[in-house]
Structure 1
Amino acid sequence: MEREEFTQILAREGFKEVVTVTREPDGFLDAHTHPFEAKALILRGELQIKTGSAEQTYQAGQVFHLFADEPHSETYGPEGVAYLVGRK
């Protein structure tokens, strides 16, 4: 998916806050939650998200979606990761 198409989807779905997040190579965040729903497009690099017993790896062009207060952990690939995320 391309950035422009993704931002149009976010607007239609009511995601008013849109930011770009960049994370360091081979980094991670232990289990945590966010008080907002998040939908993000991977711009470059790789991100692995673990929710409960499910684990998914996302690469450039792929989209992930997390609900508000959904516990998850994050691991970043050897090149780090950058993603465009809508929050609501």
Structure 2
Amino acid sequence: MSTTPAEPFGLFDTFESFSAQAQARGFDAVLVREWAPDTDTSLHTHPFAVQVQVARGEFALEVGETTRHLRAGDTFALDAEVPHVERYGAEGATFWVARRHAQLSLDNP
């Protein structure tokens, strides 16, 4: 389980520069995610690893016993299948998200 990237992206001024860096590092999907104000997710996982830059708003990310409060300009990463909860603030939030899906091999379909 990881909540910090092995090789941090750094901070980006534009989605285009974030996207270019993500693609150069082998992420296969890059998108903008919008979260409504006061949204709480239940404990869940994703079938992909992520690196994220918070572009607007704030939220709390709970992973195990650790809670991180993140605001615009903060970054985080999670490996695939890491259980977590997301709690968004009164403004909601906008993320720039780079996803890396597991690659299926012929030996492990």
Q: TM-score, normalised by structure 1?
A: 0.91
- Residue in structure 1 matched with residue 6 of structure 2 by the alignment: none
CA distance in 1, matches of 2:59, 2:21: 21
Higher strand share: 1
**Identity score, percent:** 34
**Superposition CA RMSD, Å:** 1.2
Structure 1 unaligned regions, length at least 5: none
Structure 2 unaligned regions, length at least 5: 1-10, 101-109
Q: How does 1:1-88 map to 2 (within 5 A)?
A: 1=11, 2-3=13-14, 4-88=16-100
Q: TM-score, normalised by structure 2?
A: 0.75
CA distance in 2, matches of 1:5, 1:86: 12
Moved over 3 A (4+): none
Aligned residue type for 1:68? A
Range with bigger deviation, 1-10 or 12-21: 1-10
Give the number of the structure with larger relative contact order, counting CA–CA contacts within 8 Å between residues 6 or more apart.
1
1:5 Cα deviation after fit: 4.2
Count of matched residue pairs: 88
Bigger Rg over Cα: 2
